Amino acid sequence: MRSVPLRSTFGMLLLLGALVVFGAPSQGDGSGLLVPDAAPRPVAPADPAPVLAALDAATEALFERAHAGVVHIRTTAVAHNPFTRQATEYLAGEGTGFVWDEQGHVVTNYHVIRGARRAFVQLAGEDESRPARLVGFDDRHDIAVLAIEPPEGGLTPLPLGSSADLRVGQHVFAIGNPFGYDQTLTSGVISALDRVITSVAGNPIHGVIQTDAAINRGNSGGPLLDTSGRVIGMNTMIFSPTGTSLGIGFAVPVDTIDRVVPTILRTGQGPRASLGISAASDSWARRHGVEGVVVVEVAPGGPAAVAGVEPVSVDEHGAVRLGDVVVGLGGRPVRSRADLASELAGRTPGEVVDLEVLRDGRPLTLRVRLGSGE
């Protein structure tokens, strides 16, 4: 027979005793502890620090001013039953948008409405959604514009700020519809500036704002606001292996939005940045041992001409002189015409970028203000 140490036996007896003494009370136990005149405790007066009180008041006022300009977007798609040949429309996705003007234009991310059969916009304070029509989109910057019928009381366009003078550490606010919970306010700071993310079209979006304000699925297309309640960006993407917020969110800068949206309203598509050059084919460049984009022609008065880009030339003796070879744009390498097109696709007209060229084999950097290729 196995022996058991005395200290273990004693410990088991203590444990059994504890279970007996402190077991679950039977009904009616504690009747002598009741307080017949028990009542709710009074609410203690608030006495916040003046700075915190002012911050609370400012945040509440910001939400009251801005939330009417934020909308809830739902999209539908159609599924076809291969056996019955019946088509069923179903809820495909949700997102956020913000009112652009009083005429009924709403701005959101392109990926919110991409592939949708129909889109519906629900205004703040309304129970029913309004059908929306697609005006146009720019998949290179993940921006789309919808149109709705304005209500009798009118719309509340959100004021725009600028993203050119933002600073890391500034307080920001996001209003959106994460996971379908509409009119949700979150706050944080600008964590970083000038990030680069990839659009749904596979092109880089430059100048992106990084924030730790909580952004989740459903926030896409919603405004990122400064402390004055002005739109400084559009919440677009998060970095998250789990699909939920980890405090790394990205917003397309408002300066980009304010250049793209008017062009969408005029033409149905976004503006296309241009250098104003014609280039030799990649095969020609490779045959002549050149890696980069060979500038053949420069449009008179165009961005490249103003910056001093030199094209291929022929002297009086008929000798061909190789002009500038583009090898970089905005700090990113350019090895082919496709590289250059991809970099330009991620830019908008009016941006000033560094154009890196080789001239007579020597590197040279030129500052170029991009033009429009509309």
User: Nearest-CA neighbor of 257 among 227, 218, 223, 228?
Assistant: 223
Whether the CA torsion 231, 237, 238, 244 is positive or negative: it is: positive
372 DSSP β-pair partners: 273
Q: What is the per-residue pLDDT for 3?
A: 43
10 Å CB burial of residue 2 (0-12, 13-18, 19+) is: exposed
Residue 273, pLDDT score: 85
The rounded average pLDDT for each run of 10 residues, N- to C-terminus, in the chain (374 residues) is: 44 47 55 85 80 84 93 92 82 93 96 93 91 93 95 93 93 92 92 88 85 91 95 87 76 92 90 88 88 92 93 79 91 90 82 92 93 72
Residue whose C-alpha is closest to residue 74's, from 35, 31, 118: 118
Residues annotated catalytic, as ranges:
111, 142, 220
CATH fold, domain 273-372, is Pdz3 Domain (2.30.42)
pLDDT tens readout for residues 170-202: 999 999 999 888 899 999 999 999 898 888 777
Query: What residue spans in the chain does CATH classification 2.30.42.10 cover?
Result: 273-372
**Residues 350, 259: contact at Cβ < 8 Å?**
yes
pLDDT of res. 4? 43
Nearest-CA neighbor of 290 among 354, 243, 359, 364?
359
CATH 2.40.10.10 domain span(s) along the chain: 66-147, 171-266
Report the Cα 238 to chain-centroid distance in Å.
8
Residue 173 confidence (pLDDT): 95
The size of the chain, in residues, is 374
The per-residue pLDDT for 27 is 57
Question: CB neighbours (10 Å) of residue 364?
Answer: 15
What fold does the segment set 171-266 form as a domain? Answer: Thrombin, subunit H (2.40.10)
Which pLDDT score is estimated for 74? 95
Task: Quote the CA–CA distance of 142 and 74 in Å, as a whole number.
Answer: 17
Residue 173 near residue 187, CB atoms below 8 Å: yes
Count of CB atoms within 10 A of residue 162's CB? 14
Q: Which two tokens stand for residue 68?
A: 């009417």
Spelled out in words, what is the top-level CATH class assigned to the domain 66-147?
mainly beta
Over residues 225-259, the pLDDT tens digits come to 999 999 999 999 877 666 666 778 999 999 999 98
pLDDT for 6 = 41
Residue among 199, 333, 357 at smallest CA distance from 277: 357
β-pairing verdict for 277-279 and 204-211: unpaired
Hey, what's the torsion of the CAs at 318, 322, 323, 326, to 10 degrees? 160
* pLDDT at residue 182, rounded to an integer: 87
Q: Which pTM was predicted?
A: 0.73
